């Protein structure tokens, strides 16, 4: 096997025969001598006059490898009679914690307030039709978590962990496309991710794990400073010495339960803003410098700016995607982005958000550590008021009008299915957000000429970028700083930001629980024989 790198045109990169020809030229061999090649990494360089595709390849001459050789082994065995661990939430943190627990010989019991991904899809379709929101089954709540109805991005800015490859292999093992193993910016897409999530459920159940749906946690049970289990809304009690809190960034009731029981939580910085949508053709024209090619993927962007020491940046950019309603409360409007695996929508959208800190929220300081949560709620309700109370219709404004500070007479066509209502968002967005967005858009337009245009529309509000609350935990044991056996985990606890980092955190927590069970067993043995 030899590893080589090729720089190809988009047409060449899409043609296996053309790739094979370039490999032969590079290695000075006949094409017939090349038995196989495997793409290791794929990226696009659009900095030049014409975009090129960079391929890193493993090339096999005179030998035939297995089609896919995983770098990691996964031992999912029967844990029916093993020690039980309660996992609250079935987002990536909860699902990957459960899979890792099974590998380590422990039995996960996943408790999910929402429904299975199949039933959840029905409820989401109702929201698209602007029908009444189910507060327990929606784009944020249900099997797979908020990431199920997203772009399914699998890359992370974090350089702290080398476990990303393992996470990608697990997704691939459960039905994700081959490309996620080598794309520089891998994504699954919501259409594929739904089946992947269902396959992960099958693995958990086949191994003796348990998954409870429509099972909302209303209390965390304690004995002194140790967790003993959870109580559900139907008054069932589940008992375990180990509880993983992987509830996601939108489970506001969990934070309230913790504060009511005087279990420590902390206010943290977060970001809020709007979702901006352009025609995908326009973004392609800007990013690819007018070069048109059917073999190029839908172009994306990543933008940052500073205004008055406050960061303004693009978040969860969805090329070829659509804007979706992501509220979890009936009198609130929240927007987010989603795309399918092919990213073939005629629209591109991204959250454009502004950094906020607890000190910025003086009007909400009476809520203590939950000040950010209540500010989120306030802005979501404000968006609802400014759509005329029309369920999930979103207040919207042409982007150039937002920058100019004028009401839009009409709104450009949008992918947002519940519909839009023209609204002066420049007027009613709180000044720390509205002013920073206006100046940020001006800077973005200098970086991407044509970004601010009447063809673009801003929809409000993008409020669920991350949790405004952190649940503190020990750095080493990952247990809550006050409560033994309670493991805050993932985005909802403030320790990750996205699918991959949440999955990694879920695995880390599972490994610490295994260590804790071993230590407790050894301590019991020492006590017994002393």
Q: Pairing mode, if any, of strands 84-88 and 243-245?
A: parallel
For tokens 């794309």, the residue is: 183
Cβ count near 418 (within 10 Å): 20
Instruction: Measure the CA–CA gap between 185 and 524, rounded to whole angstroms.
Output: 48
Just give the CATH number of 2-61: 3.30.70.2700
Q: How many residues does the chain have?
A: 530
Q: In the chain, which residues fall in CATH 3.30.70.2700?
A: 2-61
Nearest Cα to Cα of residue 151 among 125, 116, 180: 180
Just give the CATH number of 84-265+471-526: 3.50.50.60
Q: What are phi and psi of 148, to 5 degrees?
A: -60, -40
Give the list of residues 6+ apart from residue 35 with CB closer than 8 angstroms, or none.
Answer: 60, 61, 62, 63, 64
Instruction: Measure the CA–CA gap between 127 and 338, rounded to whole angstroms.
Output: 15
Sequential DSSP letters for 372-409: HHHHHHHHHHHHHHTTTS-TT-EEEEEHHHHHHT---S
pLDDT in tens, the chain (530 residues): 899 999 999 999 999 999 999 999 999 999 999 999 999 999 999 998 899 999 999 999 988 776 666 778 899 999 999 999 999 999 999 999 999 999 999 999 999 999 999 999 999 999 999 998 999 999 999 999 999 998 889 976 544 446 899 999 999 999 999 999 999 999 999 999 999 999 999 999 999 999 999 999 999 999 999 999 999 999 999 999 999 999 999 999 999 999 999 999 999 999 999 999 999 999 999 999 999 888 999 999 999 999 988 999 999 999 999 999 999 999 999 999 999 999 999 999 999 999 999 999 999 999 999 999 999 999 999 999 999 989 999 999 999 999 999 999 999 899 999 999 999 999 999 999 999 999 999 999 999 999 999 999 999 999 999 999 999 999 999 999 999 999 999 999 999 999 999 999 999 999 999 999 988 765 544 444 34
Contact between residue 140 and residue 250 where contact means Cβ atoms under 8 Å apart: yes
Helix 92-103 / helix 499-529 crossing angle, nearest 10 deg: 40
Residue 436 burial (10 A CB sphere; 0-12, 13-18, 19+): buried
What six digits make up the tokens of 120? 């959840």
Strands (E), 215-344: 217-223, 226-232, 237-239, 243-245, 266-267, 270-279, 304-307, 310-318, 322-325, 335-338
Q: In the chain, which residues fall in CATH 3.50.50.60?
A: 84-265+471-526
Give the list of residues 6+ apart from residue 88 with CB closer than 8 angstroms, or none.
Answer: 94, 111, 217, 230, 243, 244, 245, 246, 247, 254
Q: Pairing mode, if any, of strands 420-422 and 457-462?
A: unpaired
Instruction: Measure the CA–CA gap between 4 and 2, rounded to whole angstroms.
Output: 6
């Amino acid at each position: 096997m030899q590893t080589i790198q090729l720089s190809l045109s988009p047409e060449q990169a899409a043609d296996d025969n053309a790739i094979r020809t370039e490999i032969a030229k590079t290695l000075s061999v006949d094409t017939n001598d090349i038995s196989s090649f495997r793409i290791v990494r794929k990226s696009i360089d659009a900095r030049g006059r014409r975009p090129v595709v960079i391929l890193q390849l493993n090339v096999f001459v005179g030998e035939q490898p297995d089609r896919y050789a995983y770098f990691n082994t996964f031992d999912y065995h029967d844990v029916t009679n093993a020690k039980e661990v309660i996992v609250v939430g079935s987002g990536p943190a909860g699902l990957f914690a459960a899979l890792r627990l099974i590998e380590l010989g422990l039995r996960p019991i996943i408790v999910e307030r929402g429904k299975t991904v199949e039933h959840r899809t029905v409820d989401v379709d109702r929201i698209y039709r602007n029908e009444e929101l189910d507060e327990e089954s929606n784009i944020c709540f249900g099997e797979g978590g908020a990431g199920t109805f997203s772009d399914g991005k699998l890359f992370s800015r974090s350089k702290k962990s080398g476990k990303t490859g393992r996470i990608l292999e697990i997704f691939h093992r459960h039905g994700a496309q081959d490309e996620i193993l080598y794309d520089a910016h891998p994504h699954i897409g919501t259409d594929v991710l739904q089946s992947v999530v269902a396959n992960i459920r099958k693995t958990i159940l086949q191994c003796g794990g348990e998954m409870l749906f429509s099972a909302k946690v209303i209390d965390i049970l304690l004995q002194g400073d140790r967790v003993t289990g959870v109580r559900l809304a139907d008054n069932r009690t589940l008992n375990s010495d180990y509880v993983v809190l992987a509830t996601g960034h939108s489970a506001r009731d969990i934070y309230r339960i913790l504060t009511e029981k005087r279990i420590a939580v902390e206010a943290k910085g977060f970001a809020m803003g709007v979702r901006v949508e352009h025609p995908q053709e326009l973004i392609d024209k800007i990013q690819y410098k007018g070069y048109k090619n059917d073999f190029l993927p839908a172009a994306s962007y990543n933008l940052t700016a500073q205004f008055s020491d406050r960061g303004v940046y693009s978040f969860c950019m969805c090329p070829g995607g659509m804007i979706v309603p992501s509220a979890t409360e009936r009198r609130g409007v929240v927007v987010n982005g989603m795309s399918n695996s092919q990213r073939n929508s005629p629209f591109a959208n991204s959250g454009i958000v502004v950094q906020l800190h607890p000190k910025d929220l003086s009007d909400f300081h009476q809520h203590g550590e939950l000040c950010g949560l209540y500010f989120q709620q306030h802005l979501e309700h404000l968006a609802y008021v400014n759509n005329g109370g029309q369920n999930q219709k979103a207040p919207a404004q042409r982007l150039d009008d937002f920058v100019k500070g004028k009401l839009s007479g009409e709104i450009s066509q949008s992918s947002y299915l519940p519909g839009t209502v023209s609204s002066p968002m420049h007027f009613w967005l709180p000044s720390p957000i509205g002013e920073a967005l206006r100046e940020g858009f001006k800077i973005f337009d200098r970086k991407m000429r044509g970004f601010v245009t009447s063809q673009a529309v801003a929809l409000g509000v993008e409020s669920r970028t991350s949790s405004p609350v952190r649940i503190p935990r020990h750095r080493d044991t990952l247990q809550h700083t006050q409560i033994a056996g309670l493991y805050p985990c993932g985005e909802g606890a403030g320790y990750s930001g996205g699918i991959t980092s949440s999955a990694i955190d879920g695995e880390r927590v599972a490994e610490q629980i295994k260590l804790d069970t071993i230590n407790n067993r050894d301590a019991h043995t020492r006590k017994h024989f002393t």
